[in-house]
Amino acid sequence: MMRRTALTLGALAAAATLAAAVPASAAEGILVVDGTDHVDPSGCYAVDRFPESIVNNTDAIAEVHAGPDCTGPVEWLVYPGEVYDTETARSVFVL
Protein backbone atom coordinates (compact mmCIF):
# COMPACT_ATOMS: atom_id res chain seq x y z
CA MET A 1 0.00 0.00 0.00
CA MET A 2 2.81 2.42 0.90
CA ARG A 3 4.62 1.66 -2.33
CA ARG A 4 1.52 2.37 -4.42
CA THR A 5 1.00 5.66 -2.58
CA ALA A 6 4.62 6.65 -3.14
CA LEU A 7 4.39 5.83 -6.86
CA THR A 8 1.18 7.84 -7.21
CA LEU A 9 2.67 10.83 -5.40
CA GLY A 10 5.80 10.60 -7.54
CA ALA A 11 3.75 10.55 -10.74
CA LEU A 12 1.70 13.53 -9.58
CA ALA A 13 4.86 15.48 -8.71
CA ALA A 14 6.36 14.73 -12.13
CA ALA A 15 3.17 15.84 -13.90
CA ALA A 16 3.05 19.07 -11.90
CA THR A 17 6.69 19.81 -12.78
CA LEU A 18 6.03 19.28 -16.49
CA ALA A 19 2.89 21.41 -16.41
CA ALA A 20 4.75 24.28 -14.71
CA ALA A 21 7.59 24.10 -17.24
CA VAL A 22 5.36 24.52 -20.32
CA PRO A 23 4.92 28.23 -21.13
CA ALA A 24 1.60 29.56 -22.34
CA SER A 25 1.86 30.24 -26.06
CA ALA A 26 -1.30 32.22 -26.70
CA ALA A 27 -4.04 34.13 -25.01
CA GLU A 28 -7.35 32.36 -24.70
CA GLY A 29 -10.35 34.03 -26.29
CA ILE A 30 -10.96 36.32 -29.24
CA LEU A 31 -9.19 39.54 -30.23
CA VAL A 32 -10.99 41.61 -32.88
CA VAL A 33 -8.81 43.86 -35.07
CA ASP A 34 -9.98 45.38 -38.37
CA GLY A 35 -13.26 43.47 -37.96
CA THR A 36 -11.42 40.14 -37.99
CA ASP A 37 -11.69 37.66 -35.13
CA HIS A 38 -8.35 36.22 -34.00
CA VAL A 39 -9.02 33.12 -31.90
CA ASP A 40 -6.45 32.44 -29.15
CA PRO A 41 -4.20 35.23 -30.48
CA SER A 42 -0.46 35.51 -30.00
CA GLY A 43 1.93 38.10 -31.35
CA CYS A 44 1.46 41.19 -33.51
CA TYR A 45 -1.55 42.21 -35.63
CA ALA A 46 -1.72 45.11 -38.09
CA VAL A 47 -4.30 47.88 -37.87
CA ASP A 48 -5.08 48.79 -41.47
CA ARG A 49 -8.12 51.06 -41.32
CA PHE A 50 -9.41 54.00 -39.31
CA PRO A 51 -11.26 54.65 -37.15
CA GLU A 52 -10.72 51.24 -35.57
CA SER A 53 -12.11 49.51 -32.50
CA ILE A 54 -9.91 46.91 -30.87
CA VAL A 55 -12.02 44.44 -28.91
CA ASN A 56 -10.15 42.34 -26.36
CA ASN A 57 -12.21 39.31 -25.36
CA THR A 58 -9.14 37.34 -24.25
CA ASP A 59 -7.52 36.60 -20.91
CA ALA A 60 -4.44 38.70 -21.80
CA ILE A 61 -3.53 42.38 -22.13
CA ALA A 62 -3.26 43.80 -25.66
CA GLU A 63 -0.69 46.55 -26.31
CA VAL A 64 -1.75 49.09 -28.93
CA HIS A 65 1.33 50.49 -30.76
CA ALA A 66 1.67 53.74 -32.67
CA GLY A 67 4.02 52.11 -35.20
CA PRO A 68 3.66 49.21 -37.62
CA ASP A 69 4.84 45.71 -36.68
CA CYS A 70 4.37 46.50 -32.97
CA THR A 71 7.05 49.17 -32.97
CA GLY A 72 6.93 52.68 -31.62
CA PRO A 73 5.43 53.81 -28.37
CA VAL A 74 2.56 51.97 -26.72
CA GLU A 75 -0.53 54.09 -27.27
CA TRP A 76 -2.83 52.15 -24.94
CA LEU A 77 -3.24 48.92 -22.98
CA VAL A 78 -6.50 47.12 -23.66
CA TYR A 79 -7.34 44.89 -20.72
CA PRO A 80 -9.50 41.76 -21.00
CA GLY A 81 -13.10 42.67 -21.69
CA GLU A 82 -12.32 46.20 -22.88
CA VAL A 83 -12.77 47.97 -26.22
CA TYR A 84 -10.41 50.71 -27.44
CA ASP A 85 -11.24 53.10 -30.27
CA THR A 86 -8.29 54.57 -32.16
CA GLU A 87 -7.57 56.73 -35.19
CA THR A 88 -3.78 56.55 -34.89
CA ALA A 89 -2.67 53.03 -33.88
CA ARG A 90 -0.88 50.89 -36.45
CA SER A 91 -0.57 47.53 -34.66
CA VAL A 92 -1.63 45.45 -31.64
CA PHE A 93 0.49 43.00 -29.67
CA VAL A 94 -1.06 40.35 -27.42
CA LEU A 95 1.04 39.66 -24.34
* Residue of 24, 47, 53 lying closest to 93 (CA atoms): 47
pLDDT digits (tens), the chain, 95 positions: 554 544 444 444 444 443 443 345 689 999 999 899 999 999 999 999 889 999 999 999 999 999 999 999 999 999 999 999 999 999 999 97
Instruction: Say if pTM beats, i.e. exceeds, 0.75.
Output: no
Sorted by sequence, the CB contacts under 8 Å of residue 88 that are 6+ apart come out as 50, 66, 75
CA distance 92 to 48: 11
Residue 56: which domain range?
Answer: 26-94
Q: Give domain status of residue 13, yes or no.
A: no
pLDDT at residue 89, rounded to an integer? 95
Number of domains in the chain: 1
Domain membership flag for residue 77: yes
Separation of alpha carbons 30 and 39, rounded Å: 5
Examine residue 1 and state whether it is found in any structural domain, yes or no: no
Q: Is 61 exposed, middle or buried (0-12, 13-18, 19+ CB in 10 A)?
A: middle
pLDDT at residue 34, rounded to an integer: 87
Residue 72: CATH number of its domain: 2.60.20
Looking at the domain assignment, is residue 56 inside a domain? yes
